[in-house]
Every structure is written in structure tokens, then in C-alpha cells.
């Protein structure tokens, strides 16, 4: 039997009629018998095209307020029959079941209804039963049946039936079946997640994936699954790479800590801040951030918590950087930044980030709540005789925000609203501190009067000893070690101020 089949009959039952008219007209032009239900049937009639109501096949009306329309053996027999199976062929004749070669379905908008804040009663009514059953039946029998399960596939169907004069190949039908099972599994996943209260069960379906140039390295394939366009408007530049996206994610999370602060600018490299400063103007903040580590800033990702003006853009334009992100730009600033052909310019939209973070681990996934705690003045508990000054408190909180978003083990030094240096991703906190001291010295920064943040507690006084020798005068850490008193005692003996937050900020 030929694997190329001519469409002679079609069942159309859709929620959204957008884009449906040209398909209906083309099918009518090709002498295809059309079956339909409810609003879709009325839509086809209004086009002046003949349509057979499903009730004429089933000899049964719609019931239960439209909840039951197509759930009938004559409908599903017409879709599921195997045309090369003699028993099926005989039963089709015996029960007078019409052949259905094409099924077009667009499901009730369950996810949109949930997102709209509708009542549970309205949400439940948007759980499609007949439509999802038609999709599964058509997809299962793809050898004989074409299934179009979403308005997103209307244009593909129209192209195929136009170019192939109403015929489809087995390859065409298999492709449509694959897309249909994606629609049904995504739909069921959304419904499950609406009802699910068991945190030990995880289901996720993301429909809008894209292929990246490559992964972390050129020999690795890379993909991004998410709605990038919801988060950003891309104004200029090349396509973002896997590594670009990781840095952009780190930048967005970091600058969120300073959302309500004054003009703040951050520069990141390999997911860690190499420069960050808060100033009266964004131009001053950028120049101060760049001065933190101009070497690492080369090829970095830049992000601002406020509009980038012309003056700032002109300074940025002197630096080779991969990505610039801001909530808005002056028109003149955009013009200047576009002078570099490949520089990616993003406008960041106000979008709430997911409440949970997911990463692969061994043969499964690790999932955790997002770290939504940002240390502030109310969290601070002074544990030393020496209390931090008002400026030191500001710098301690500033340093803590950076520390939270830096790879562990980490130590961050800050002074007057400026990142001085940091030790990142070290196997010991002492190594992180030594790295931060050496880096500050390498760029000529004076650590006298600077503040220090640690992502976790100090089990020994070695870190505060090294900090004191470097010129640090105030320390912020979570506390919680059984040997906290050793560090506290050293600080008391050496006039260091130290505050506990009670919150650890590991980042692996």
C-alpha cells in the first residue's frame, strides 16, 4: 500500500480560529469532506463552505454543556482504523463509520486561563477532553491519519496540502504526530502542575527552545529552553552564545540585588563580578566599576540598574565587551554602542524570575528554591565590642550582595560603594582571602578601612587575622560555627567590627 495518501475527509474542532480560513478554503477546493462541531462548524458555514455536523455521524447531540461532542466510536473509529487491516476495513463497513483522514484540533487555552487569575471553576472548564483524545488518536494512527494539534502548525499544513495537491507522505504524517504528542504531553504537564502539591514530583515542559551556535566549548552542542524575548529586547549584535547566556543570567541576578539602590553598574566575567560600583551618576558608577579590574573587564558582560546615557555609552565604547544590559538607553547611547558590529545590546524587561533553580546532577536533577534573601540592616547582629560605622554598614551590605552572587568559597572586599577585589571559587576560605588581598594590591587599592564579606562562617580566626593585617576594619559573615567565639575574640582584641547575618550564601 502506498505511503502517500490523499486527504478526502477532515474533522476540524478548534478553539482558536486564527489562520484557519485559508486551510478550510484549500480543503474545500480539493473536494475534501469537512466534519465539524459547535463554533468551528458555524465558522465554516459562515465562509459559505459545506460542513457536516458531527451529530450527523454519531446520531447523538452535544451534551453536558458541550463537554461531550466527539467522544463516540464512529468518530474515533474513523480516525483509528488501520486501512491495511482487513478486519478494520470490514468493521468500518459493518458499522457505517466514515473514514477521517485529517484531524485539526486547537485545545482550550488552559495555561492562559491559569495565568489570567481565573477562578478554579473556569480553569477546570478549560481542561480539554475531546480535543486531547482526538490528538492522541490521530497521532497514534499517523500511518493513515494526519493530525494537526495546534494553530502553530496551520501554516505547515497549508504549505503541504498546497504543494502536494492534498496528499501527505508518511514522513509528513510522522512529523505532525511528533508535534502532536509534544502538544498533548505539554498540556497534560501544565494541568498536573496546576494540581500538584507533592514537592518530590517534578515535571517541566518548555516549548520554545532554540539551538545555539555551540555549548560551553565548540565541540559541544548547545540549546536554550526559555522565553528570552520576554526578558529582553535585543537591540543590536550577534546571536548570544551558551556562555553569553550564563553570564547574562549571572548579571541579571547580581544587579537585582541593587534594584532599589542608586545608580549601580556591574561588570562580570565567567559568571562572577570583576567590577561593581554605586555612584551619583551611572557614568561615574561605570568608570568606578571598570577601575576595579580593567583586565578582566575585557570581553565581559556589562549591566546597569538604570538608564544608560550618552556619556556612559561613550565610555563603554572604549572597551571591548560582549554584552551590555540596561532597563533603558538614551537614543544617542544606542547609536554609539551600535558602532561595534557584534556587541550585543539588551533592554531588560520587568520579568519575575522562576522561584526554583534546576540543574543536572548525576543521572537526574537538583532543584532548590531561589536564594531570595538579601542581607540588609535589619538582619545584622553586631557580635563585637567595636560597632561598625554607618559607612561600614553600607559597605558591608554592599559586599554581602556581591558575595551572595559569587562562586564559593568567596571573600569580597568593598569600600565606599565599590568592589575592591574578591577571591572566587577557592577550595578554602583562606585561599579566597589571600587571592582577594593579592588582587587588590595588584590594582593599587588601599584596603585600609575596607569592609569584608564571607559567604559562610569562619571555623577558625585565621581569616579575620589575615583581614586585619590587610587593613580591613569591618566584617560581615553568617556566623553559626561552634568556634565563632575564636573569631569574635580576635576581633575584640584588635578593634575589628564584625556582624552576623544568620544566613549562609553558598553558591556552587
Q: What SS3 string covers 2-28?
A: CCCEECCEEEEEECCCCCCHHHHHHHH
Nearest to 459 by CA among 478, 472, 445, 441: 478
Nearest to 303 by CA among 328, 331, 332: 328
CA-based angle 107:112:113, to the nearest 5? 90
Query: What is the separation of C-alpha 451 from the centre of its chain, rounded to a whole number of angstroms?
Result: 35
d(CA 291, CA 295): 9
Peptide bond between residue 123 and the one before it cis (omega within 30 degrees of 0): no
Give yes or no for a contact between 124 and 191, defined as CB atoms under 8 angstroms apart.
no
Contacts of 52 (CB under 8 A, 6+ apart): 33, 34, 35, 36
Query: What is the separation of C-alpha 105 from the centre of its chain, rounded to a whole number of angstroms?
Result: 28
471 dihedral zone (left: phi>0; alpha: psi -120 to 50; beta): left
Active site residues: 140, 270
Contacts of 318 (CB under 8 A, 6+ apart): none
Three-state DSSP at 206 gives coil
The phi, psi pair for 152, rounded to 5°, reads: -65, -20
Q: Report CA Rg, the chain.
A: 31
Amino acid at each position: 500500500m502506498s505511503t502517500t495518501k490523499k486527504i478526502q475527509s477532515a474533522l476540524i474542532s478548534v478553539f482558536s480560529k486564527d489562520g484557519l480560513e485559508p486551510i478550510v478554503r484549500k480543503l474545500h477546493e480539493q473536494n475534501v469532506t469537512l466534519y465539524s462541531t459547535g463554533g468551528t462548524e458555524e465558522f465554516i458555514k459562515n465562509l459559505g463552505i459545506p460542513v457536516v455536523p458531527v451529530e450527523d455521524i454519531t446520531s447523538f447531540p452535544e451534551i453536558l454543556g458541550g463537554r461531550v461532542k466527539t467522544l463516540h466510536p464512529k468518530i474515533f473509529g474513523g480516525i483509528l482504523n488501520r486501512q491495511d487491516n482487513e478486519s478494520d476495513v470490514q468493521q468500518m463497513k459493518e458499522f457505517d463509520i466514515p473514514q477521517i483522514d485529517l484531524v485539526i484540533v486547537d485545545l482550550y487555552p488552559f495555561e492562559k486561563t491559569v495565568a489570567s487569575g481565573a477562578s478554579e471553576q473556569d480553569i477546570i472548564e478549560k481542561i480539554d477532553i475531546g480535543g486531547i483524545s482526538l490528538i492522541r488518536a490521530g497521532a497514534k494512527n499517523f500511518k493513515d491519519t494526519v493530525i494537526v494539534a495546534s494553530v502553530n502548525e496551520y501554516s505547515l499544513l497549508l504549505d503541504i496540502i498546497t504543494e502536494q495537491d492534498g496528499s501527505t507522505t508518511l514522513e509528513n504524517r510522522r512529523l505532525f504526530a511528533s508535534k502532536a504528542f509534544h502538544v498533548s504531553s505539554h498540556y497534560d504537564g501544565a494541568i498536573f502542575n496546576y494540581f500538584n502539591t507533592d514537592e518530590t514530583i517534578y515535571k517541566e515542559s518548555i516549548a520554545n527552545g532554540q539551538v545555539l551556535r555551540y555549548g560551553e566549548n565548540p565541540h559541544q552542542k548547545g540549546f536554550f529552553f526559555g522565553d528570552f524575548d520576554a526578558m529582553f529586547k535585543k537591540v543590536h549584535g550577534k546571536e548570544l552564545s551558551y556562555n553569553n547566556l550564563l553570564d547574562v543570567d549571572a548579571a541579571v541576578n547580581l544587579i537585582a540585588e541593587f534594584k532599589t539602590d542608586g545608580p549601580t553598574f556591574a561588570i562580570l566575567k565567567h559568571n562572577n563580578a570583576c567590577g561593581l560600583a554605586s555612584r551619583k551618576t551611572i557614568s561615574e558608577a561605570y568608570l568606578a566599576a571598570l577601575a576595579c579590574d580593567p583586565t578582566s573587564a575585557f570581553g565581559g558582560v556589562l549591566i546597569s540598574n538604570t538608564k544608560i546615557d550618552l556619556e556612559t555609552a561613550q565610555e563603554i565604547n572604549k572597551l571591548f565587551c560582549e554584552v551590555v544590559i540596561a532597563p533603558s538607553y538614551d537614543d544617542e547611547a544606542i547609536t554609539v554602542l551600535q558602532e561595534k558590529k557584534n556587541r550585543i545590546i539588551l533592554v531588560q524587561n520587568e520579568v519575575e524570575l522562576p522561584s526554583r533553580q534546576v540543574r543536572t546532577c548525576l543521572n537526574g536533577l537538583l532543584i532548590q528554591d531561589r536564594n531570595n534573601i538579601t542581607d540588609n540592616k535589619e538582619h545584622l547582629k553586631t557580635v563585637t565590642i567595636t560597632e561598625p560605622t554607618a559607612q561600614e554598614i553600607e559597605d558591608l551590605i554592599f559586599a554581602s550582595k556581591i558575595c551572595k552572587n559569587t562562586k564559593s568559597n568567596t571573600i569580597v572586599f568593598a569600600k565606599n560603594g565599590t568592589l575592591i577585589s574578591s577571591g572566587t571559587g577557592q577550595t578554602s576560605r583562606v585561599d579566597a582571602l589571600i587571592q582577594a588581598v593579592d588582587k587588590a594590591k595588584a590594582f593599587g587599592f588601599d584596603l585600609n578601612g575596607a569592609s569584608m564579606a564571607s559567604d559562610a562562617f569562619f571555623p577558625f580566626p585565621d581569616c579575620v587575622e589575615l583581614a586585619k593585617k590587610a587593613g580591613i576594619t569591618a566584617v560581615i559573615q553568617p556566623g553559626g560555627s561552634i568556634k565563632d567565639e575564636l573569631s569574635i575574640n580576635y576581633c575584640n582584641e584588635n578593634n575589628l567590627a564584625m556582624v552576623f547575618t544568620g544566613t549562609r550564601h553558598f553558591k556552587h
